[in-house]
Chains A and B, each alone.
Chain A
Amino acid sequence: MMLIDPHAHMISRTTDDYEAMAAAGVVALIEPAFWLGQPRTFVGTYVDYLSTIVGWERFRAGQFGIRHYCTIGLNSKEANNEELAEGVMEWLPRFALKEGVVAIGEIGYDEQTALEDKYFRLQLTLAKEIDLPVMVHTPHRDKKRGTSLSMDVCEEMGLDPSMVVIDHNNEETVGEVLDRGYWAGFSIYPSTKMGNARMVELLKQYGSERIIVDSACDWGISDCLGVAKTAQLALQSGVSEEVVRAVCYGNALAAYGQSGQMKESDWLSPPAIDQRTLYEGNSILRGGREPVIEEPGTQRRKGLTIE
């Protein structure tokens, strides 16, 4: 089964991870612009980071047969540094239209401060102006309120819920997100956000409509095979293949494909080597090879269950 990991911070991962993801069936992933583990203190370092995720990282992923997309945004933590935030906002319009940018994100709230609110709204306005989907990061603390607030603000700013993915959901938030018409992302993240066994229970309860599974793998304790292991566990637990394909592949493509920057043909029939688009080195999926999900990752990743 082909998989998409629509939330993966590959800039902090190794080539082993790319190999393991490709072996597990990941054909495409999305790298959302986010915090690097410590705050950036100069606009310039933020700019070079954005350049890296639209540039080199895209190429690096291609070397392992994985199509790389990204989202562009000012994250909520760094929105609290007003000088930095003002600077970054000036650069976003030129990055948001780069090739392979599928959304403005990940944006939203962390501490739910006034500055976070200001820059969230400004970025929603930009997304509307240039007609891109939005990826919303919901806060770790006071999550339920922060999630509701994020959707309230999206609606106030005139965004269509079908253009917004609310990410990092759990059992407490999913009902409202789906009821209000948004895409609901789940980050399979060991011990903190959402384990894959819990996710399987949610799939049994809610089915597949507008539900998206991602790994949110980054520089912390996380698993780049979160999507693959969830897919496998779900299939073994009796969830239908159709549901698994929707939540681990089809829905992400439908949601972020609204950008016009992400199409199935990108990985099913990649163009021949093309100097303009850099598909060179992308050989793993050529020749009709169907990736298999049963293939194990590295020896470090034996277990199916994450939590």
Chain B
Amino acid sequence: MTSPKDLLQKWIAERAGAERPWLEDQLATLAAPGATERELHLFLGFAPRRLGKADLALSPDELAEADAARPGWQPGDWSLDGAARVLGLLSYRGDRPFSETFKDLRRTSDAAEMIALYRGLPLYPEPESLHFEVGEGLRSNLKPVFEAIAHNNPYPRDHFDEHRWNHMILKALFIGAALGPITGLKDRANPELARILVQYARERWAAGRPVMEELWPLVGPFAETPEIRAQLDRARAEGRIIEEFVS
């Protein structure tokens, strides 16, 4: 089966036009023993300048190849430059552990670069070593950076513990990020999350603010848990119409 790295290389080369020789030359440099981090930095900087920032615009067949190469990998919203940056990082063979190189890049990345770095999460070696880095991304002030981790990315589903998963969902609600694109949303529903969400809904009602309907499907499966049941009964008694969502 084709690896994600080989797929990226094929897709980008096909879309690189006149820059294809430059791309192939750069990738060979990065993959060679003795490649320097300066070469990696300059490649990451030049990627959007040389290749442009268009959407990668993968076909349905290409998206199916992605999912076959790495289950859950959905690069449907990737850009050409972002994909090239991930490919550059996968091609580079440094002496340091991958997580150290990643950390170093993340600390100095601009927004588009950071989004690309985080979208690549499902493809990197030693995924468990990136927990701190992912935490930093989730704490970002920039919503698109948060969404690069949370949306269309199987990494949270595959690697987050329950606490981090639940707080990612809660933060998505707080910053207005959609829940729908979160990979594994229903599979990872859990009673603790349902409890947090009902509590969150109560706080919103108390403040006179609307509650996103998207959260109720995550509560529904646990509606008979006593604590949640009690909260829902109170909401019903207060005239909050939630039956249709929770059922």
Residue of B nearest to A97 (CB): B45
Which B residues form the contact surface with A (CB < 8 A)?
38, 41-42, 44-46, 48-49, 53, 77, 79, 82, 107-113, 115-116, 141-144, 147-148
Counting CB contacts under 8 A, is A275 at the interface? yes
Counting CB contacts under 8 A, is A42 at the interface? no
Of listed B44, B45, B107, residue having the most chain A CB within 10 A: B45
Is there an interface contact between A91 and B45, defined as CB atoms closer than 8 Å? Answer: no
Could you say which residues of chain B place their CB within 8 Å of the CB of A54? 110
Name the contact of A99 in the complex, choosing from B42, B108, B112, B141 (C-beta under 8 A): B112
Is there an interface contact between B46 and A97, defined as CB atoms closer than 8 Å? Answer: yes
A: interface residue count bin: 20 to 34
Which A residues form the contact surface with B (CB < 8 A)?
47, 50-51, 54-56, 58-59, 91, 93-100, 130, 260, 275-278, 280
Of listed B48, B49, B110, residue having the most chain A CB within 10 A: B110
Is there an interface contact between B111 and A99, defined as CB atoms closer than 8 Å? Answer: yes
Name the contact of A276 in the complex, choosing from B42, B107, B112, B141 (C-beta under 8 A): B112
Q: What CA separation (Å) do A276 and B141 show in the bound complex?
A: 15
Is there an interface contact between A280 and B143, defined as CB atoms closer than 8 Å? Answer: yes
Name the contact of B113 in the complex, choosing from A50, A98, A130 (C-beta under 8 A): A98
Can you report 21 residue pairs joining A to B where beta carbons are below 8 Å apart? A55-B109, A55-B111, A59-B141, A59-B142, A93-B41, A94-B108, A96-B45, A97-B41, A97-B45, A97-B46, A97-B49, A98-B110, A130-B42, A276-B82, A276-B111, A276-B112, A277-B53, A278-B112, A278-B142, A278-B144, A280-B143
Shortest distance from the beta carbon of B245 to any chain A beta carbon, whole Å: 27
Other 7 A-B pairs with CB < 8 A, given A59-B142, A96-B45: A94-B41, A94-B42, A260-B49, A276-B116, A277-B53, A277-B111, A278-B112
Chain B at the A interface: SS class? helix
Could you say which residues of chain A place their CB within 8 Å of the CB of B49? 97, 260
Could you say which residues of chain A place their CB within 8 Å of the CB of B115? 275-276
Of listed A56, A275, A278, residue having the most chain B CB within 10 A: A275
Residue of A nearest to B40 (CB): A94
Shortest distance from the beta carbon of B113 to any chain A beta carbon, whole Å: 7
Q: Give 8 closest A-B pairs by Cβ, nearest first.
A: A97-B45, A94-B41, A98-B110, A275-B144, A99-B110, A54-B110, A276-B112, A278-B111
Name the contact of A94 in the complex, choosing from B45, B82, B141 (C-beta under 8 A): B45
Shortest distance from the beta carbon of A165 to any chain B beta carbon, whole Å: 21
Q: What CA separation (Å) do A51 and B107 show in the bound complex?
A: 8
Is there an interface contact between A97 and B144, defined as CB atoms closer than 8 Å? Answer: no
Q: What CA separation (Å) do A23 and B111 show in the bound complex?
A: 26
Could you say which residues of chain B place their CB within 8 Å of the CB of A130? 42, 45
Q: What CA separation (Å) do A179 and B42 show in the bound complex?
A: 36
